[in-house]
C-alpha cells in the first residue's frame, strides 16, 4: 500500500470538532463584539437622554426661579414685614426730566402705587435732586396733591438728602412736612433758561443759515441767529411768569412759616444748607431718615415703590442727545 497516510474515522471526527470549536469561538467573539457595540450604543443613548434632560432643565430652571420669585414677591407684598408696620417709599433722584428716571411718568406711577397701599402707615418721599424741567416738576407736585385728596388719611413726608433745590423743592411743597439733613442744599427758588449763541462763530467762519418759517417768531432761540431785543424781552417775560408760579406754589405750601419781608432773598434763586433753611421756614426740621420715620410713623420699615431702571433705561441713558435737546433747555434750578 506504500507509505501514503490514510485518515481514520477518528481523525476525521477530530477535524470536524476542531472546525466546530473554531466556528464557535469565532461566533462567540463576534457576539461579544456585537454586545459591546450594543452596550456602547445604549450608553450613548443614555448619555444623549441625560444631555437632553439637562438642556430641558436649563430651559425651565430660570422660568421656575422667576415664578418662585414672583410668588415670593406677591406674598411679601401682602405681608412685607410680617406684623410690623411700614411706610411706602418713593425715591426721586437725579435730574427731573422727560427722558430721565425721575420723569413725571415714572415718579407718578410709583406715587400711585405707594398711596394705594392700604397697609402702609404713610408715604415717605426721599429726594436727592438739583431740579430740572418745570413742567415735569409741576406734574409730580400736582399728582401728589391729587393723591392726597384721594387718600386724605395718608400722611406725606418729604426728606431731602444731598440736594432739595429748584424743581425738587417745587415737588416737596406738595408734602405735609419737609425735612432734610443739616447739610442738604435747599432752595434755589428761581428759573434759568439757557442756550448757546453761536452767531459770532458762524460769522467768523462765514457760515450762513437759511431759515424758512411759517410764523414770524418760529426761529427764536436758533443758536446760529443772534437774538433780537424783542426775543430777549420775550424770554424774560416767560421766565418771570414761571418764577411767579414757583413762588405761588411755595407760598401756598409754607405761608405760615416763611416771610419774604423778613428774608428778601427767599425767592432770589439763592440756596442754603438745611440748618439755614429751617430758620427761613423752608424746612420743618433737620434730622435723619430713621429718626424721622420712628417719630412720625413709629417704624423704620419701608416698602420701596420706586421705579428702578432696567437694561433698556440704562442703554437709553447712553444715547447722544441731539438737536434742540442739547442746545436748548430751560429748567428750574
pLDDT, greater one: 323 or 159:
159
Across the chain, mean pLDDT equals 81
Give the C-alpha separation, 217 to 238, whole Å: 15
pLDDT, greater one: 273 or 37:
273
* Nearest CA-CA partner of 165 in 150, 180, 147: 180
pLDDT of residue 328: 44
Q: What value does the mean pLDDT take over residues 71-83?
A: 58
Give the C-alpha separation, 115 to 325, whole Å: 33
Q: What value does the mean pLDDT take over residues 8-17?
A: 55
pLDDT, greater one: 89 or 204:
89
Asked whether the predicted pLDDT for residue 253 surpasses 90, the reply is: yes
How would DSSP label each residue in 139-177? HHHHHHHHHHHHSTT--EEEEEEEEEETHHHHHHTTSSE
- How far does CA 279 lie from the centroid of its chain? 35
Q: What value does the mean pLDDT take over residues 182-191?
A: 95
Residue owning grid cell 432761540: 221
Q: Is the dihedral of CA 143, 148, 151, 155 positive or negative?
A: positive
Please report, in angstroms and rounded to a whole number, the separation of the first and last CA atoms in the chain: 135
Asked whether the predicted pLDDT for residue 88 surpasses 60, the reply is: yes
* Contact between 242 and 191 (Cβ < 8 Å): yes
Which among 44-48, 60-64, 86-90 has the top mean pLDDT?
86-90
pLDDT, greater one: 74 or 100:
100
pLDDT, greater one: 228 or 333:
228
Q: Using alpha carbons only, give the angle 152, 153, 157 rounded to the nearest 5 degrees.
A: 90
Q: Is the dihedral of CA 320, 324, 328, 331 positive or negative?
A: negative
* Contact between 165 and 274 (Cβ < 8 Å): no
Give the C-alpha separation, 115 to 104, whole Å: 16
Q: Which residues of 232-259 are buried (b: 16+ CB within 10 A; e: fewer)?
A: eeebeeeeeebbeebeebbeebbeeebe
77 half-sphere exposure, CB direction, 13 A CA radius: 12
Which among 143-152, 223-232, 322-331 has the top mean pLDDT?
143-152
Give the C-alpha separation, 108 to 143, whole Å: 7
The whole-model pTM stands at: 0.71
Structural domain boundaries in the chain: 21-60, 85-331
pLDDT, tens only, 137-175? 999 999 999 999 999 999 999 999 999 999 999 999 999
pLDDT band of 46, cuts 50, 70, 90: low
CA separation, residue 311 to residues 1, 93, 295 (Å): 107, 18, 38
Cell readout for 279 is 430758620
Give the SS3 label for residue 264: coil
Q: What value does the mean pLDDT take over residues 45-61?
A: 68
- In the chain, the percentage of residues whose pLDDT exceeds 90 is 52
* Contact between 126 and 92 (Cβ < 8 Å): yes
pLDDT of residue 332: 44
Residue owning grid cell 418764577: 243
Q: Is the dihedral of CA 129, 272, 246, 250 positive or negative?
A: positive
Helices marked H in the chain? 9-78, 104-116, 134-150, 167-172, 199-204, 229-254, 274-280, 289-297, 311-317, 324-327
In CATH, which superfamily holds the domain spanning 85-331? 2-enoyl-CoA Hydratase; Chain A, domain 1 (3.90.226.10)
What count of other Cβ atoms lies within 10 Å of the Cβ of residue 296? 18
Lowest mean pLDDT among 64-68, 191-195, 311-315: 311-315
Amino acid at each position: 500500500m506504500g507509505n501514503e497516510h490514510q485518515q481514520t474515522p477518528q481523525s476525521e471526527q477530530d477535524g470536524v470538532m476542531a472546525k466546530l470549536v473554531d466556528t464557535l469561538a469565532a461566533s462567540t467573539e463576534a457576539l461579544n463584539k456585537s454586545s459591546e457595540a450594543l452596550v456602547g450604543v445604549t450608553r450613548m443613548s443614555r448619555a444623549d437622554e441625560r444631555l437632553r434632560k439637562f438642556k430641558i432643565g436649563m430651559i425651565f430652571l430660570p422660568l421656575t426661579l422667576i415664578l418662585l420669585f414672583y410668588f415670593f414677591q406677591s406674598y411679601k407684598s401682602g405681608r412685607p414685614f410680617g406684623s410690623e408696620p411700614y411706610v411706602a417709599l418713593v425715591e426721586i433722584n437725579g435730574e427731573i426730566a422727560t427722558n430721565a428716571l425721575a420723569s413725571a411718568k415714572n415718579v407718578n406711577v410709583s406715587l400711585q402705587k405707594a398711596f394705594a397701599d392700604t397697609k402702609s402707615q404713610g408715604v415717605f418721599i426721599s429726594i436727592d435732586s438739583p431740579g430740572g424741567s418745570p413742567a415735569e416738576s409741576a406734574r409730580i407736585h400736582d399728582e401728589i396733591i391729587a393723591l392726597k385728596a384721594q387718600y386724605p388719611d395718608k400722611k406725606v413726608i418729604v426728606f431731602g438728602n444731598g440736594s432739595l433745590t429748584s424743581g425738587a423743592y417745587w415737588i416737596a411743597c406738595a408734602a405735609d412736612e419737609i425735612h432734610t439733613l443739616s447739610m442738604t442744599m435747599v432752595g434755589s427758588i428761581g428759573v434759568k433758561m439757557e442756550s448757546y449763541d453761536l452767531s459770532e462763530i458762524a460769522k467768523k467762519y462765514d457760515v450762513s443759515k437759511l431759515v424758512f418759517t411759517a410764523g414770524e417768531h418760529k426761529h427764536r432761540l436758533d443758536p446760529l441767529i443772534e437774538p433780537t431785543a424783542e426775543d430777549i424781552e420775550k424770554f424774560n417775560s416767560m421766565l418771570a411768569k414761571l418764577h411767579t408760579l414757583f413762588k405761588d406754589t411755595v407760598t401756598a405750601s409754607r405761608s405760615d412759616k416763611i416771610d419774604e419781608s423778613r428774608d428778601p432773598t427767599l425767592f432770589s434763586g439763592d440756596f442754603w444748607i438745611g440748618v439755614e433753611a429751617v430758620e427761613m421756614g423752608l424746612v420743618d426740621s433737620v434730622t435723619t431718615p430713621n429718626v424721622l420715620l420712628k417719630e412720625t410713623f413709629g417704624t423704620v420699615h419701608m416698602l420701596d415703590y420706586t421705579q428702578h431702571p432696567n437694561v433698556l433705561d440704562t442703554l437709553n441713558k447712553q444715547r447722544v442727545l441731539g438737536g434742540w435737546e442739547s442746545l436748548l433747555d430751560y429748567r428750574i434750578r
